[in-house]
């Protein structure tokens, strides 16, 4: 081959190599099961299974004010991270030499690591938001935040999904965003305005951002994941507005009368918390499945495509609406209908 390759040609060649790697099933031997299960578990702390359990649990059992702030800041940071991936288009580590233990996101780009961003923003937003709200040793809270975020970050290296630079980039971007947005956190906390136009903005703006997500050279789940995140945030924010506007629940307490002691964990408290969580998560999963199936059927019929067609499901006009409707419903259910069910069952 003679002549100079353009940067675009080199990038396309590298992308094709990455795509070919998808068909390559790697075999590996686990030599240390402690590290294997530790980092596979830690990696799950940056995935949907964690978000759909930890964030609702915080709302139902700990503090609705904290859950609202966590979700809003998390959505903002994650959107910027997801978009940055598809703008920068830095590939993930080549395999081989690394062994990639995850297949679902293998065809996404790498910079920045959104796992690192999610772990950093959740742990340190929680720390900053609670240190003047609840009484506990700050050093202990800082240690827990560092350990949590470090485990998730190291898991991205262990599973072969990111380079050190990807992880450091994710941490740095999140730190900058926390510093820049911190002065506006109090304003963000008051977004559940009683204005009738507020729900329109909450739905229209995120949907517009999802539908106009940066185009990629080949399909990756990044757009779908971004839609899931923005829709969940829209649903939660809409749920708080519904509670406030229709006076279904008291607004989350922004300021407590002094720094509160963390109550000791008792058996009764544990049983109540687990019961509320179980009831809530069952309802959320039912709503998610029902709305997803219904929205897909409507879209398949509207665009006249064969149901259960994997390629059709990935089309922009189908993927974004069904994901958005599904997870907006999940967020609304978690903040409005689950507490109503808790109250009906005498769990509040």
**Is 115 designated active site?**
yes
pTM of the model: 0.84
Residue 320 lies in a domain: yes
Quote the pLDDT of residue 190.
73
* Residue 228 sits in the same domain as residue 309: yes
Residue 257 lies in a domain: no
Q: Which of 59, 115, 244, 342 is catalytic?
A: 115
Give the residue ranges of DSSP H helices in the chain.
7-22, 33-44, 48-57, 64-88, 114-130, 138-158, 164-181, 185-189, 198-211, 222-245, 267-303, 310-313, 316-332, 338-344
* Residue 52 sits in the same domain as residue 184: yes
* Residue 165 sits in the same domain as residue 64: yes
Residue 13 lies in a domain: no
Quote the pLDDT of residue 4.
42
Quote the pLDDT of residue 21.
47
* Residue 217 sits in the same domain as residue 120: no
* Residue 238 sits in the same domain as residue 300: yes
Torsion angles phi and psi, residue 279, rounded to 5 = -60, -45
* Residue 145 sits in the same domain as residue 213: no
Q: Is 132 helix (H, G, I), strand (E, B) or coil?
A: coil
Quote the pLDDT of residue 75.
92
Residue 9 lies in a domain: no
* Residue 34 sits in the same domain as residue 57: yes
Quote the pLDDT of residue 223.
87
Residue 18 lies in a domain: no
Quote the pLDDT of residue 178.
93
Residue 314 lies in a domain: yes
Give the residue ranges of DSSP H helices in 23-99.
33-44, 48-57, 64-88
* Residue 175 sits in the same domain as residue 214: no
Closest CA to 189 of 252, 135, 266: 252
Q: Is 136 helix (H, G, I), strand (E, B) or coil?
A: coil
* Residue 200 sits in the same domain as residue 124: no
Residue 1 lies in a domain: no
Domain end among 158, 191, 224: 191
* Residue 36 sits in the same domain as residue 128: yes
Q: Which of 59, 162, 244, 342 is catalytic?
A: 162
Buried b vs exposed e over 326-344: b needs ≥16 C-beta within 10 Å?
bbbbbbbbbbbbbbebbee
Quote the pLDDT of residue 294.
94
Residue 110 lies in a domain: yes
* Residue 211 sits in the same domain as residue 186: no
- The number of distinct structural domains making up the chain is 2
* Residue 118 sits in the same domain as residue 232: no
Residue 281: domain span = 194-249+266-347
Torsion angles phi and psi, residue 135, rounded to 5 = -95, 115
Look at the block and give the residue holding tokens 């069904």: 322
Quote the pLDDT of residue 22.
44
**Is 342 designated active site?**
no
Each residue's pLDDT expressed in tens, for the chain with a length of 348 residues: 444 444 444 444 444 444 444 444 567 787 788 888 888 888 888 787 888 888 889 889 888 888 888 998 999 999 999 999 888 888 888 777 777 777 777 777 888 998 899 999 999 999 998 888 888 888 999 999 999 999 999 988 888 888 899 999 999 999 999 999 998 888 777 766 666 788 888 899 999 999 998 887 777 788 888 999 999 999 999 998 888 877 766 656 555 555 667 777 788 889 999 999 999 999 999 999 999 999 999 998 888 888 777 788 888 888 899 999 999 999 999 999 999 999 999 987
Domain end among 167, 191, 215: 191
């Amino acid at each position: 081959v003679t002549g100079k390759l353009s940067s675009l040609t080199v990038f396309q060649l590298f992308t094709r190599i990455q795509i070919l790697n998808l068909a390559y099933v790697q075999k590996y031997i686990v030599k240390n099961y402690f590290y294997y299960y530790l980092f596979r578990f830690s990696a799950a702390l940056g995935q949907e299974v964690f978000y759909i359990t930890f964030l609702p649990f915080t709302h139902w059992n700990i503090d609705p004010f904290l859950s609202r702030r966590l979700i809003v800041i998390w959505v903002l940071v994650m959107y910027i991270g997801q978009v940055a991936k598809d703008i920068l288009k830095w590939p993930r580590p080549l395999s081989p030499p690394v062994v990639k233990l995850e297949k679902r996101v293998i065809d996404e780009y790498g910079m920045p690591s959104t796992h690192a961003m999610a772990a950093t923003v959740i742990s340190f937003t929680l720390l900053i938001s609670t240190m003047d709200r609840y009484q506990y040793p700050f050093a202990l809270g800082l240690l827990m935040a560092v350990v949590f975020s470090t485990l998730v970050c190291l898991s991205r290296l262990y599973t072969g999904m990111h380079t050190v630079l990807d992880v450091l980039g994710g941490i740095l971007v999140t730190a900058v965003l926390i510093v820049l947005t911190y002065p506006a956190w109090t304003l963000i906390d008051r977004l559940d305005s009683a204005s009738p136009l507020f729900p329109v903005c909450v739905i229209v703006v995120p949907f517009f951002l999802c539908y106009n997500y940066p185009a990629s050279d080949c399909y990756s789940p990044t757009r779908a994941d971004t839609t899931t995140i923005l829709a969940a945030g829209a649903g939660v924010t809409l749920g708080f507005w519904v509670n406030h506007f229709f006076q279904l629940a008291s607004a989350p307490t922004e300021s407590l009368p002094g720094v509160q002691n963390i109550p000791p964990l008792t058996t009764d408290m544990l049983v109540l918390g687990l019961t509320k969580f179980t009831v809530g998560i069952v309802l959320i999963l039912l709503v998610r499945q029902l709305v997803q199936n219904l929205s897909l059927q409507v879209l398949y019929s509207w665009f006249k495509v064969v149901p259960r067609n994997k390629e059709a499901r990935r089309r922009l006009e189908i993927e974004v609406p069904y994901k958005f409707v599904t997870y907006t419903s999940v967020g609304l259910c978690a903040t409005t209908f689950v507490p109503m069910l808790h109250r009906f069952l005498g769990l509040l």
